[in-house]
Structures are given as structure tokens and as C-alpha cells.
A and B are shown apart, each in its own frame.
Chain A
Amino acid sequence: MLFHTPAFAALLVLILILFHALPRGRLWMLAVADALFYGLPNPAHLPVFLAVSLVTYYCALGQREVTAGAGPSEAVAGPRTHGTRANLLFALGLLVNAANLIFFKYALFFTRSMEGLLGVPLPALDSVLVRIALPVGISFYTFQLVGYLVDARRGQVAPARSFVQFWVFISLFPKVMAGPIARGSQLLPQVEAVGRLRRSANGVSRGLLLLLVGLVKKVVLADTLAPFVNRLFAQGASLGGVEAWIAAYLFTFQIYFDFSAYSDMAVGVGVLLGFDLPQNFHTPYVSAGPGEFWRRWHVTLSTWIRDYVYIPLGGSRAGLPRQIANLLLAMAFSGLWHGAAWTFVVWGLYHGCFSVAEKLTQVLSGRTGARRARSRPEPAGPGASARPGAMRLLASALRRGVAVAVCFHVVVAGWVLFRSADLGTAVGMLRQMLSPRSFAFSTGSLAALALVAGFYFLHLAEYLVRRDGAALRFWRTRVPAPARGLAYALVIALILVFVQTERSTFIYSRF
């Protein structure tokens, strides 16, 4: 169920009233609400989700019991689980989750790739697989379930005491469709204490504000950009250089507004209920390099890939060549997670290459820096070799500005791979974008570029507002209540004006 639909608004109001009026019944009420939220729009997918959750729950519980010999009620976070039966249960849990994800999301992709590779078409199989509908949020819940299973094996999380608690943790309705990907250690304790969760005036205010911000991003910005982006990308490689850049820039902001809107609303709804869900975005387009970008973009996925793919592969522990291979593998995996198409894999590898380039630059600059430090004579006295402070600050700001601009454009070009219908189209568009001969500016394109600049300033404004609470404090304490009330009413009216007649989904809910 989508956040910006009347059904969700009605369900949310009902849940909030019941949740805060009946603290004792919260767990069961959330369990039912989660099932309704997930199952009402897609009744056929709910049993699958429930079954996979049930298997994972028992596998995690079973492997802990085998090792610790403790009952479910005594289960606590502790040492890693071992033993043949524990290994078997762990493998079973992984297998069921992987099979579920592969069957629904990747079966057609793998079959078609094999057909292409072997040159043997299997139309009968294709026609069956093409009819399989992708369950909403399957990539997100699968990663949560696998993360939980691994954490339980590592002893980093105590298995849930009851399936109802586990179900609420996995399927909590604000985040089930498109994250954030919650960890058991983070969310399970909150679920266990759900009867004692308290809402505060600050919490309600913050939750409503996040909901409003999310709705503006989704309804006013992302959904308004969508038809323009669709029209431009439909022309693909036939676009001129400037138009291709405009298409890429607009999609850059569309996907950010769309996905961060979902995350803002998810966190906002969580706050209204009393849950503390992790923030998924920290204004990523102000990043000065790939590493920082992935600490700001879809944070819970980046950390999941780091903890459950990159580090288990060896991370940076086995030398530079192995680290580079691990980085590329992890990023390709991240790309494939986004969608069953080669464009996503190449997009992941593209980002992997930039992460590798950053790593190599760091290694090289580290060595050069060390050599310079060794060859540099000691300063005669304190401050003798230091440039004036203002100059240093200016140079540093300039360096960061250039780094941010370069990183932003690397990301923008990457989105072409992500958004294009196929690799051929993406390569054609990128070729146009990199070919100065294909550049022709018109009044329309200049206006579009001015719009893009406006979106970037909006992004910068969000960065400044979120960086510290000063702006929000000023808003709450210095701006008179009538002005704030009027502003809220205008924002709500703006959201209503931009609500689409046709139903628009969130981009990331398709993954």
C-alpha cells in the first residue's frame, strides 16, 4: 500500500488511534496491520511472505537452541552458533530466502541470459516465467531476513521470542515496501518493548514534519518530474548531448526525491508510532567521493552489502588486489539487487570502478604523502610553514567543491545506466553526453538546466537544514504560530494540488 493514497491515510489514522489507545494490544494490532498493509493490495503474495518469514524464524531459533541449549525465552545474543544441525538450519534458511528471491525476481533474467549464452531459446519456459508477478518489497524483506539469520548465527542478535514479534519486526508496515532495511539488533528490542513505547510532543511534531517533507518530495517533485523523464528516456540515444544530460540530471533528482520521500515517510510513520527507524539518506549529492556517496545514499543497503557481502568476502584484509575484486563483486551484487537486468549489474560495476579508483588514489596519495613527509625539513618554529588560515580554508573548500562537482557528475552519468531500457540505449546516451559535437543549446534546454540548478540548490538547502537543528529550532521558536500554521496549510494544499489522478508507485518499491 502506497503512502500517498487515501487507503493508507485512513489505515494510518486508524492504527495510530488504536495503537495509542490500547498499549496492551499493540503487538497483535501491528501484526494484523502489517499483514493488511502488505496483503490488501497483493493478497496472493502475503502467504509467500509469511511462509518465508516462518521458515527463517524457526531456522534462526533452531540454530541458537542447538548451540546454546536454551529455550526461546532464554535466547540472548551470545557466541557464534556451531554444529552440524545449526549449520544445516542456517543453510536451509539461506536457501529458502535465496530460492524465493531468485524464483520471483531473477528466474526470467537467468533463463534469458542462459538462452542468450547457449543460443537455445526456451519460449515455453519464458512464457511461464514472464507471468510471475514480482511481490512488492521482496528484495527488502529478503535482505532483512538473511541479515537476521546471519546476525543470529554470529550471536549479534537474540532470536525473537515469538513469531508475532518476529513478524512485526520483518513486516513493520512503514518500511516493508522499500526499507530502510532494519537490523534485528536495532528493531527487535523496540518491537519487544512495543507496549512501553511512548509518543512525545516532539516525536509527533517530527513525525508529521517528516511525513509532510516526504509527501512534498514524492507528490510535488518526483511525480511531476516523472513524465518529463519518461519522455526524454523514451527517446534514448536519439537525444542530443544537452538533452541527454538534462534527462540524466532530471532522473538524478527524480530518483532521489522519490526514494528519499519513501524513507522520510517511513521514518516519520515510525516516529508517530514510537519506533526509531534508521535514516536511509543524508543528502547524497553533496558527497565528495564514492565512499562518502554510499555513506549518504541508501545507507541501510550500503551497510548491509558491507557487512554481509564485502566483509565476508575478505574485505580489505587480504591485500589490495583482493580488496579491489571484493569491491567490484560487492558493487555488482548491489546492482543486481536493484533489478534483474544487465543495466543494473553494469551500473553496480560502474560504481565499483569508481570506488576502486578512490581506493587506489587514497593508497597512492598515502604513499606520496608519506614520502613528502619524510623528505620535508622540520619547520623552524610553530606556524612557520603554515599558510594563512583563511587561505587554507578557501583552498580546502575549493578542493571539496571540485570533488563534489566531479562526484555528482559521475553519479549522474551512472543513473543513465540505471534508468535506460537496455545497455545499447545507455551507451548511446552516454556517448552523446560525452561528445561535445552533439551539444546544441536552445532556450528550452537552458530553462531546463536552470531548473536542474534549482533542484540542486533545494538539495543543498535540505543538507543545511538537516546538518544541525538550528533551522528547525529557529522555525519552532522564532516563527509565530500563525505564520507556521499558514505555511503548513499551504504545503498541504500544494501536496493535494500535485496528487496524481493515476496511481504512481515508488521507484524502489519495484526492486
Chain B
Amino acid sequence: MRVRAFVYALLSFAVIQFGLPALVPPGLIYDHRLSYEYFRDNHADLDLALQAIKSHIQREGLEDYVILLGDSVTYSARTSPDQSIGAHLEAVAAEHGRPTHVFTLAEPSMQIGDTYAVILKLRAYGISTRHVISNLLYGGFVARTPFPPAVFWLENDLRHLDREVYDRVRSHLEAARLDPLAKPPKTLEARFDRYVSQNVYPVIAPLAYRDFIRSAAIRLVTGQDPKAEKIDPRPWTEKTHLKATLQLQEYQMAFSDRPFILDETNLQVYFLERIIAASAITTPGDEIVFFMSPVNQTLMAVNVAKPGYRENLRRVDAWFGTKPVTYLNLESAIPDRYFADHLHLTPEGNQVLAEILWRALETRDHTGGAQTSDAAGGS
């Protein structure tokens, strides 16, 4: 009798294992973006978002869609998901009579190495990278000290997906590792637990989906969302602390006016080369649109006025001019009133940026080639 119950328990668990992914609404995982609250605590949730996106694409038979990559700028960290750049880009496309799905896979603090890892993951999931837009930060080209690490979140994924590239940057990552979750555990027990959580948990459905189911259950019982995003879409002029905060070393470093070294010793350049190469090799004709993130020209006036800073931007423009990609320098393309701080935009700012990006996509599709432009004057 007990053996029978055990067998039925195994069978029931198998049903749960295969049935659960179909039972979890995709909107619970991906709603215009994967909430940073989930991603920060469990990077494996990115795979669930990719699965949700893939299901969406297959279900609706989508062929023409846009993938947004990058960091907190593209993620639209100060605004809600429905006010994000991705949401606005969909709206703008619909207004122009070309309804297009936009999938945002950017996450705060993602570095260029993370973007490369996400592109490799997209390929692994069979999701097209024909229309990919990624933001870049000026600070990404600044020499790393070794902080921030060139791969902030997805080191483990990079190790699995491109061992050669991982080995090339490994020593840098070890020197610059900031994420405590990424630090190698000290004891044998902790190493074992970490191995299991990274390699076994993602394949057991109740464990893989646990973050989303648990949050939904807590929301149902307590009425409180344990993973509610902390957003603040107010314009920067209402945030009195900003000026003082931006004087901190970590912010000032990101606007350094020291001359950029634009060869492969610069990991930003190294990963950009890898991204461009991967794009060209896999599907000829694929292109990635990179844009230099807009900067609040008033709030960062001292920094952006420095000749070294401006010269560095010109050199980045020139570097992209030699590459088969579309590059938009939007560093001063957005009026200051649309900023929530020095980099992130208000909901209206997201809309303005979405319109610029849409125009770039339209132009590229019509001209069918790479371009490099300083969009500042066009905005």
C-alpha cells in the first residue's frame, strides 16, 4: 500500500514537473521586462523570461520583433514597466502603422559582457537577433580599475556559452568580482550547494518557478507584493540630493575625461567586437543598433564640458564608423526636462527616446545598411 502511494507520488510529481510551466501565466514572469527584483536575487529567472518570450513568439508566429538590451537605462529603471522604453517603442510602432513586439532583456548594472551573454542565450533559445537595440554608457569605455567587472551578473552563463571568451576575461572578473552571489564558496558544503542550485534547481519546475509562484501566493494571502519595484519617475529637479550624490567617486569615474584606449585591451571594445562578430557570423544581414545613452547636460554640466570627454565621444563615434553596425550618439539628444536623474529618463523621456529609436530602425530598414550618426541635432 505504501509502495503504491510512493509510486503515485512519483507519477504525480512527474505531472507537476511537466505541467507547471504551462500553468504559470507568462505575464507573471515577463511584463514588458523581467523585474529586476527577481533577476537580482536569482539570475536563472532570465531563462524563464526567455522561455516566456519564445512561447509568445511561437504562439503568435512573430517574425519581426525587437530585442532591447543594455542596462538600467534601457530597462527604464525609474519608471514602471508600462512606461518603459520598450512599452513606448511598441506604442510608437503601432502609431506608425507597423505593430511590432518589443522584448526588453536589459537589467540594471548589466555590463557589455552581460549583453554579449544575453545575445548568446537568445541564440541558444532560437530567438532572432535580427533587430537588437542596446544602449552603451560612456562609463563603459572608461578604463576599469578593475571595477566594474565587464560581466556583472552573467559570469556563469558566459562560462557555459563561450568558454574561450570567458577564459580571456577570467582574471579580470576574479579581480573585480562584486556580486557576493558570484564569489566562489569557501567550504565543500557551500560549493556543493552552489553547484546544485546552479545546475539542478533550474531543471526542477517547482524550483525554477518558485520566485514567481511564491510572490503570487504571498500577494494573494497578504495583499503585499514582496517583489514590488521601487520606482521614482519624478524629474531630477525634484530630487535635491542628486547633485551631492553625483559628486561621489563612483559617479565621477564614469565620466572620466582621460583618453579612451579603443583597442581590445579595453574590455568594452573586446566585447563589442565579439558581439559584432557573433552577429555577422550567425545570420548575415543581422545588425545591432547601439546607442550612446543620453546624459543630463545640466546636471553633469561640469563633466560633459571637458574637452577630454568630448574628444572621447568623438573617438567612439569614429570607432563605430568603421564597424558594420548602426550607432546613434544620443549623448545630448534628450532635453534635460525628461531626465529623472543624470542618466535615467522620466516616462515622457522614455517616449522621446523610443521615438528616436523607432526613426533609426525605420531609416536602417529603408537604407538597409549601417550608419553612424550624432542624433543630438535631430532631436
Check A497–B209 contact: CB distance below 8 A.
Answer: yes
Which of B13, B190, B214 is within 8 Å of A497, CB to CB? Answer: B214
Is B124 at the interface (CB under 8 A from chain A)? no
User: Other than the known A489-B13, A496-B204, A501-B211, what 8 A-B pairs have Cβ atoms closer than 8 Å?
Assistant: A40-B188, A447-B223, A451-B221, A476-B1, A481-B4, A485-B11, A486-B8, A492-B13
- A176 CB to closest chain B CB, in angstroms? 15
Complex Cα distance, B10 from A40, in Å, reads 32
Check A205–B192 contact: CB distance below 8 A.
Answer: no
Is A424 at the interface (CB under 8 A from chain B)? no
**What's the interface size class on A, roughly?**
35 or more
Complex Cα distance, B218 from A447, in Å, reads 12
Show 20 residue pairs from A and B whose CB-CB distance is below 8 angstroms, ordered by the A residue: A5-B189, A5-B193, A7-B192, A7-B196, A10-B192, A43-B187, A205-B2, A448-B222, A451-B221, A481-B1, A484-B5, A485-B7, A485-B8, A488-B9, A489-B9, A489-B16, A493-B20, A496-B207, A497-B214, A502-B41
Query: Which residues of chain B are near A443, meaning CB under 8 Å?
Result: 223
Check A485–B223 contact: CB distance below 8 A.
Answer: no
Q: Mark B16-51, 1 if CB is under 8 A from A, else 0.
A: 100010000000000000000000011000000000
Complex Cα distance, B45 from A501, in Å, reads 12
Size of the B side of the interface (Cβ < 8 Å), in residues, is: 41
Q: Mark A33-54, 1 if CB is under 8 A from B, else 0.
A: 0000000110100000000000
Which of B13, B221, B226 is within 8 Å of A227, CB to CB? Answer: B226
Complex Cα distance, B226 from A22, in Å, reads 48
With A43-B187, A482-B8 as contacts: A201 and B13 at CB distance below 8 Å? no
Query: Which residues of chain B are near A497, meaning CB under 8 Å?
Result: 206-207, 209-210, 213-214, 217
Check A496–B210 contact: CB distance below 8 A.
Answer: yes
Is A354 at the interface (CB under 8 A from chain B)? no
Within 8 A of A (CB), among B172-201: 187-190, 192-193, 196-197, 200
Is A490 at the interface (CB under 8 A from chain B)? yes
Q: Mark A469-510, 1 if CB is under 8 A from B, else 0.
A: 000000010000110111011101110111101110000000
Which residue of A is nearest B200, CB measured?
A6
Is A87 at the interface (CB under 8 A from chain B)? no
Complex Cα distance, B10 from A488, in Å, reads 9
- A205 CB to closest chain B CB, in angstroms? 6
Query: Which residues of chain B are near A1, meaning CB under 8 Å?
Result: 189
Is A119 at the interface (CB under 8 A from chain B)? no
Which residue of B is nearest A6, CB measured?
B196
Is B249 at the interface (CB under 8 A from chain A)? no
Q: Mark B212-243, 1 if CB is under 8 A from A, else 0.
A: 01100110011110100000000000000000
Query: Which residues of chain A are near B222, meaning CB under 8 Å?
Result: 228, 447-448, 451
Check B12–A489 contact: CB distance below 8 A.
Answer: yes
Is A224 at the interface (CB under 8 A from chain B)? yes
Query: Which residues of chain B are near A381, meaning CB under 8 Å?
Result: none
Is A444 at the interface (CB under 8 A from chain B)? yes
Could you say which of B2, B15, B209, B218 has the most chain A C-beta atoms within 10 Å of its C-beta? B2
Which of B7, B13, B42, B192 is within 8 Å of A501, CB to CB? Answer: B42
List 5 tightest A-B contacts by C-beta distance, closest first: A485-B8, A489-B12, A6-B196, A496-B206, A481-B4
Check A490–B7 contact: CB distance below 8 A.
Answer: no
Query: Which residues of chain B are near A490, meaning CB under 8 Å?
Result: 12, 16
Query: Which residues of chain B are near A493, meaning CB under 8 Å?
Result: 13, 16, 20, 206
A/B pair count, beta carbons within 8 Å: 100
Complex Cα distance, B207 from A467, in Å, reads 34
Query: Which residues of chain A are near B12, meaning CB under 8 Å?
Result: 485-486, 488-490
Complex Cα distance, B222 from A451, in Å, reads 8
Which residue of A is nearest B20, CB measured?
A493
Complex Cα distance, B226 from A494, in Å, reads 18
Query: Which residues of chain B are near A502, meaning CB under 8 Å?
Result: 41
- B12 CB to closest chain A CB, in angstroms? 3
Which residue of B is nearest A443, CB measured?
B223
Query: Which residues of chain A are near B200, meaning CB under 8 Å?
Result: 6
- B221 CB to closest chain A CB, in angstroms? 7
Complex Cα distance, B5 from A201, in Å, reads 13
Query: Which residues of chain A are near B4, meaning CB under 8 Å?
Result: 481, 485
- B371 CB to closest chain A CB, in angstroms? 44
Check A201–B2 contact: CB distance below 8 A.
Answer: yes
Complex Cα distance, B197 from A498, in Å, reads 14
- A167 CB to closest chain B CB, in angstroms? 20
- B220 CB to closest chain A CB, in angstroms? 11
Query: Which residues of chain A are near B42, meaning CB under 8 Å?
Result: 501
Complex Cα distance, B221 from A444, in Å, reads 11
Query: Which residues of chain A are near B187, meaning CB under 8 Å?
Result: 40-41, 43
Check B207–A499 contact: CB distance below 8 A.
Answer: yes
Check B2–A485 contact: CB distance below 8 A.
Answer: no
Complex Cα distance, B42 from A496, in Å, reads 15
Check B210–A498 contact: CB distance below 8 A.
Answer: yes
Query: Which residues of chain A are near B188, meaning CB under 8 Å?
Result: 40
Query: Which residues of chain A are near B189, meaning CB under 8 Å?
Result: 1, 5, 7, 40-41
Which residue of B is nearest A5, CB measured?
B193
- B231 CB to closest chain A CB, in angstroms? 20
Complex Cα distance, B197 from A33, in Å, reads 23
Complex Cα distance, B5 from A486, in Å, reads 8
Query: Which residues of chain A are near B11, meaning CB under 8 Å?
Result: 485, 489
Complex Cα distance, B218 from A490, in Å, reads 18
Query: Which residues of chain B are near A451, meaning CB under 8 Å?
Result: 221-222
